[in-house]
């Protein structure tokens, strides 16, 4: 069984300020990539890209820039 995982990390403290989101494999890689781009502010879907005063693309704890990456992983069917 597979799923996509979006890892969101703060660039200042990536091992402390981080979250992993699980996306069902059936929803597809395209959706996972879309969500990752919306979270870190890199999505081409913004009419007005997030700027310096926007909370989008910033760590909710310290305000540093964040990155969101997508990875397809094999998961144990029992979990």
Domain spans of the chain?
Answer: 2-74
Total residue count of the chain as it appears in this document: 79
The pTM score is 0.89
Classify residue 21 as left (phi > 0), alpha (psi -120 to 50) or beta: beta
Instruction: Kindly tell me if the per-residue pLDDT of 1 is higher than 90.
Output: yes
User: What pLDDT sits at residue 62?
Assistant: 95
- The helix (run of H) or strand (run of E) holding residue 19 is strand 18-24
Classify residue 30 as left (phi > 0), alpha (psi -120 to 50) or beta: alpha
Instruction: Kindly tell me if the per-residue pLDDT of 77 is higher than 90.
Output: no
User: What pLDDT sits at residue 79?
Assistant: 53
Instruction: Kindly tell me if the per-residue pLDDT of 47 is higher than 80.
Output: yes
Phi and psi of 20, rounded to 5°? -125, 125
Question: The tokens of 60 are what?
Answer: 């909710």
Sign of CA dihedral 64, 69, 73, 79: positive
């Amino acid at each position: 069984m597979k799923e996509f995982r979006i890892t969101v990390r703060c660039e200042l403290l990536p091992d402390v300020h981080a979250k992993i989101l699980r996306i069902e494999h059936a929803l597809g890689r395209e959706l996972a990539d879309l969500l990752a781009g919306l979270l870190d502010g890199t999505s081409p879907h913004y009419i007005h890209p997030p700027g310096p005063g926007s909370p989008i693309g910033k760590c909710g704890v310290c305000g540093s820039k964040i990155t969101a990456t997508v990875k397809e992983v094999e998961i144990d069917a029992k979990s």
